[in-house]
Amino acid sequence: DAKTTQPTSMDCAEGRAANLPCNHSTISGNEYVYWYRQIHSQGPQYIIHGLKNNETNEMASLIITEDRKSSTLILPHATLRDTAVYYCIVRRYPQGGSEKLVFGKGTKLTVNP
């Protein structure tokens, strides 16, 4: 089962920042927070991931709280093409290997003109 809780849906105006929250209160020390999105049944697209520090790349920023129990994905200037289902996933790294991504229901983000 997914270890995260996300709102079912959100709306955002085009050009504004989209802030997508995620709760992962049972996260453990060797688990990373990953974000993916799926645009209209295409293959899931990697966005960003982090352990405990805030991260930023060309797509988004990831803000992780100090206790690591929640995080927020920020799309700084949302466009219509950002309309998608966004998945927040915690992923464990056992010694010497990696682990599958377990997808929950995600947040359906709709960017409105």
Partner 1 sequence: NAGVMQNPRHLVRRRGQEARLRCSPMKGHSHVYWYRQLPEEGLKFMVYLQKENIIDESGMPKERFSAEFPKEGPSILRIQQVVRGDSAAYFCASSTTGLDTEAFFGQGTRLTVV
Considering only 43, 67, 81, 113, the residue that binds partner 1 (CB under 8 A) is: 43
Q: Figure out which of the listed residues 24, 34, 60, 83 binds partner 1, where binding follows CB under 8 A.
A: 34
74 binds partner 1 (CB under 8 A): no
Site track 45-64 with partner 1 (rule: CB under 8 A), x = hit = xx--x-x-------------
DSSP string computed for 52-109? SS-EE-SS-EEEE-TTSSEEEEEETT--GGG-EEEEEEEEE--TTS---------EEE
Whether the CB-CB separation of 78 and 111 falls below 8 Å is answered with yes
Does 104 engage in binding with partner 1 (CB under 8 A)? Answer: yes
- CB of 14 or CB of 52, closer to partner 1: 52
Does 101 participate in binding partner 1 (rule CB under 8 A)? yes
CA distance 62 to 48: 7
